[in-house]
Structure 1
Amino acid sequence: LSQKHDVTVYEKNDRFGGHSNTVMVNTSLGPTPVDTGFIVFNDATYPNLIALFEHLGVRTKESDMSFGVSLRGGETEYSSVDTSAFLCGGRNLMSPRFWSMTWDLLRFYRNAPLQLLATRDTMMSLGEYLNAHRYGAAFQRDHLLPQAAAIWSASMGDIHHYPACAFVRFFENHGLLKLKGRPKWRTVEGGSLSYVEKLTAPYAANARLRSGAVSVRRDASGARVRDARGRVDRFDHVVIATHADAALAMLEDASAQERQLLGAFRYARNRAVLHTDTAFMPRRPPLWASWNYVGDNPEGGCVVSYWMNKLQGIQSEEQIFLTLNPRTEPRADSILYENKYDHPVFDGAAIRAQEQLWSLQGVRNTWFCGAHFGSGFHEDGLQAGLAVAEHLGGVRRPWTVENESGRIHIGTPQRVKAIAA
């Protein structure tokens, strides 16, 4: 937008990036960048992010996306590190529950796309589908729901209410319904801070850090924005690039349609603790994976430990973990950093709202973008932001990729329709 327009950026934090949040940790290597929010992307379903990184000259490297589960105090453990880890060193060979899980896993991979992607019942929940087709508790509670909870940083209860059709479409697009030929995952060298700094460099000096927009009121000539410091400014247009609930909260004069669509999204707050306490990993070290689901927290959210050395290729002597919603506290001397992140919860109401979100664009000179336009990830937010910038600013993105807005529901904004008429 700034290529053709005078743009003012409001940011409530003292840094740019949101979930792209890199922490510098003192290790045997010296100051070491470790990500605590956005960590990885793949070569198949992040076309615009890859193009952006290439455009900015951001260097990336291969990552490891192995997944493991440790439940009931380590009584049930397996991981995708290798065959031995999947079988827990042979221990799972004698477990009927493990074989029930494995049989249902293969059945789900084979049948779910055929049964769901052609259905008209797009709002059937995942839980309803699994129960209707008699998937056992072992598969649901020991594999599918933990895996999905780790992906979306959600509780297993929230995942149970995810619309089954949208769930399977996401899994199929990301190669999660097959054992071989899955997308290759990568991470940013130097942490996500590397790309945030390059992306914001052209306007960082003039942006209003620690001055988030707290209220927006529209009229016939534009919008009035008041920030957290009490300053009020007028603009021709306003782009609200926040979570849906935050966008709705700052609209003083929200329309009925804005309240209906933006209000359809719920968010789950996850506490992320960066630490070095191995007690939050699977009981058997050979099973340690990059992503390790170790249960739900009764107070809310999934408990997942990310092994950052493996995810980001950190070769330090110290083993660094990022745990979401720990049930107990890591050792005090092991805690390096903590933060809280809000993630969208996708239920039937949210999925229905997504189909109409784009109708809000340009109405009363107001535009919206964010990861909630898609599946809640970096590529979704980027696709929404690029599409808004192109419609509002009249400038094309500096790259061409296939299916450039394929992860979001997009239409012609009302303002563009009015001009065309």
Structure 2
Amino acid sequence: MLVFPAYTFIRFCINHGLLQITDRPQWKTVVGGCRIYVKRALENIDKKYLNEAIEKTSIVGDKVIVKTKQREEVFDYCFHCAHPPEIVKYMDGENRAKELLKNFDYQQNLAVLHWDKSILPVKRAWSSWNYLSNHNTDGEDAVSVSYLINMLQPIATETPILVTLNPVTEIDKNKIFREIKYEHPLFDDKAVSSQEKIHALQGEDNMFYAGAWLRYGFHEDGILSAKRALLKFFEKVGKCPEDFKVL
């Protein structure tokens, strides 16, 4: 956390209303969860290939070649919506965007979905995000964050449902629903300084880039980055839908 740029941290807090004591913004959720808008997006794609890992993308003339184990396709344009380390791995050759993508590092985190409220503070102090830290003899304090899902989503139960990232205390194994390993971007100075530089290169070599890593890592950031990339695409091809807007 000490390498996280202070300006970016403050801007994040301001954008999310975290520095306000009163009149804080009311968050809204999509009914049915994020799977709903993923499903709706896929419904509008006629030709789609699922569960096919990209092995290589390469530029041949003014075309982009995308290769998987199952097939090889030729496209006029390509949108890279994967994590930067993955893009760097499958992107053939070198270009300016690829050099910038190398500035994004990722960290593996363990997420535990459970109902063990013993890791929460006293009930009157419960909040949407709750943190717990351990003091280690080496001076490196470990910190975990527990999301109280009941406060974030309309779950029809009084039992506290929690998602704990990197638990520093043992969670009752009998109260664990599932454990999932995720990889999250590290927003250090080199990563943050590369975000707008990548956006400036949108469309170069007929390739575009989108993902939550281009902002703060939230679902909304992924959608916003995709809309910004699409706007650059529309500019390149010379047409843009009248109702297309980027907030």
**Can you list the C-alpha shifts for 1:251-285, whole angstroms capped at 9, x where unaligned?**
12132x23431111112222111112222222x23
Which residue does 2:7 correspond to in 1?
Answer: 165
One-letter amino acid of the counterpart of residue 286, structure 1 = R
CA contact (8 A) 1:297 1:326 kept: no
RMSD: 2.5
Q: Distance in 2 between matches of 1:173 and 1:235?
A: 37
Q: Distance in 2 between matches of 1:396 and 1:351?
A: 31
Which residue does 1:270 correspond to in 2?
Answer: 109
Q: Distance in 2 between matches of 1:162 and 1:397?
A: 39
Listed as ranges, the matches of 1:33-52 within 5 Å are none
From the superposition, tell whether residues 196 and 302 of structure 1 become closer, same or farther in structure 2 (CA, over 3 Å): farther
Which residue does 1:374 correspond to in 2?
Answer: 215
Superposed displacement of residue 296, structure 1: 6.3
Superposed displacement of residue 356, structure 1: 1.1
Q: Distance in 1 between matches of 2:134 and 2:87?
A: 29
**Can you list the C-alpha shifts for 1:200-250, whole angstroms capped at 9, x where unaligned?**
2222x74222112121111213111112x3422221211101222222121
Which residue does 1:147 correspond to in 2?
Answer: none
Listed as ranges, the matches of 1:202-281 within 5 Å are 202-203=44-45, 206-227=47-68, 229-255=69-95, 257-281=96-120
Higher RCO (C-alpha under 8 Å, 6+ residues apart): 1
One-letter amino acid of the counterpart of residue 179, structure 1 = I
Identity %, equivalent residues: 33
CA contact (8 A) 2:119 2:169 kept: no
Q: Secondary structure at the match of 2:223?
A: helix
From the superposition, tell whether residues 301 and 247 of structure 1 become closer, same or farther in structure 2 (CA, over 3 Å): farther
**Can you list the C-alpha shifts for 1:163-222, whole angstroms capped at 9, x where unaligned?**
11222222223322231122211222222222222222222x742221121211112131
Q: Choose which of 334, 357, 363 in structure 1 pairs with 2:198.
A: 357
One-letter amino acid of the counterpart of residue 241, structure 2 = R
Q: Distance in 2 between matches of 1:381 and 1:210?
A: 20
Q: How many residues align?
A: 240
More helix by share: 1
Q: Distance in 1 between matches of 2:44 and 2:135?
A: 42
Superposed displacement of residue 329, structure 1: 4.5
CA contact (8 A) 1:274 1:336 kept: yes
CA contact (8 A) 2:107 2:185 kept: yes
Which residue does 1:289 correspond to in 2?
Answer: 127
Q: Secondary structure at the match of 2:29?
A: strand
When Rg is computed on C-alpha atoms for both structures, the one with the higher figure is: 1
Q: Distance in 2 between matches of 1:289 and 1:379?
A: 22
One-letter amino acid of the counterpart of residue 244, structure 1 = P
CA contact (8 A) 1:303 1:325 kept: yes
For structure 2, list consecutive stretches of 5 or more residues without a partner in the other structure: none
CA contact (8 A) 2:199 2:229 kept: no
One-letter amino acid of the counterpart of residue 168, structure 1 = I
Which residue does 2:25 correspond to in 1?
Answer: 183
What is the TM-score normalised by the length of structure 1? Answer: 0.52
**Can you list the C-alpha shifts for 1:127-170, whole angstroms capped at 9, x where unaligned?**
xxxxxxxxxxxxxxxxxxxxxxxxxxxxxxxx211111222222
For structure 1, list consecutive stretches of 5 or more residues without a partner in the other structure: 1-158, 406-421
CA contact (8 A) 2:56 2:92 kept: yes
Q: Distance in 2 between matches of 1:160 and 1:311?
A: 28
One-letter amino acid of the counterpart of residue 130, structure 2 = N
What is the TM-score normalised by the length of structure 2? Answer: 0.85
Superposed displacement of residue 301, structure 1: 7.4
**Can you list the C-alpha shifts for 1:37-83, whole angstroms capped at 9, x where unaligned?**
xxxxxxxxxxxxxxxxxxxxxxxxxxxxxxxxxxxxxxxxxxxxxxx
Q: Distance in 2 between matches of 1:385 and 1:309?
A: 29
Q: Distance in 2 between matches of 1:328 and 1:246?
A: 32
Listed as ranges, the matches of 1:323-362 within 5 Å are 323-362=164-203
1:383 aligns with 2:224: yes
Q: Choose which of 312, 335, 339 in structure 1 pairs with 2:153.
A: 312
